Structure 1
């Protein structure tokens, strides 16, 4: 069981973990040992509430396919167990990020004093530039 929040958790069968060989430097260890983890999680077939599913699928994230499958590749650590924990933590972070409600933006207007400061600065700059012309 992977705990997302107090009320929501994922069963082990919903998450597919595969051990693969990691990329990059590491020499013989990288070539021999399958220490990286490839995690796949199908949002549509999961036991998540409908609200979670809608928000996750609405995210603009390259790790989420058009079919609704989240794919995470964890290869930061040399140890397979640490990479497994990292992949699961990243999955939880994606799901929790989807549930954060964005604060609505209230449009504001500049104050009169800020407008006057801006115009005064423009006048000073204009006068400075006009003084650079040829002397007659």
Structure 2
């Protein structure tokens, strides 16, 4: 009976031998080289013009504008980015108070409501 080591060695050697045995591989045809029947220069020239035209610029501008308008219309207000003005409004709203009510926490056993203290950064109950 063969050991696992002998089986693995046999499998490795037989795989190695067949992988590099070129007589077993299919013969492929020679690569075909396109010569354009001697007229190489006509095939290498660009058929389209790479010049910038007013119509091309106008099409690009209109396409960009259409996409921006579509994004503005399709994006809901809650998904839009915060502006500097929005952040300043939030800062002025927060500056006036020290304690803010926490609405998603229940009252404690004494019946007091939870508040967030901005100075100590802890939750307190009043």
Q: Please give the TM-score of this superposition, normalised by the length of structure 2.
A: 0.28
Give the strand-richer structure, 1 or 2. 1
Question: In terms of Rg, which structure is larger?
Answer: 2
Point out which structure has higher relative CO (alpha carbons under 8 A, 6+ apart): 1
Compare the two structures and name the one with the higher helix fraction: 2
TM-score normalised to the size of structure 1? 0.27
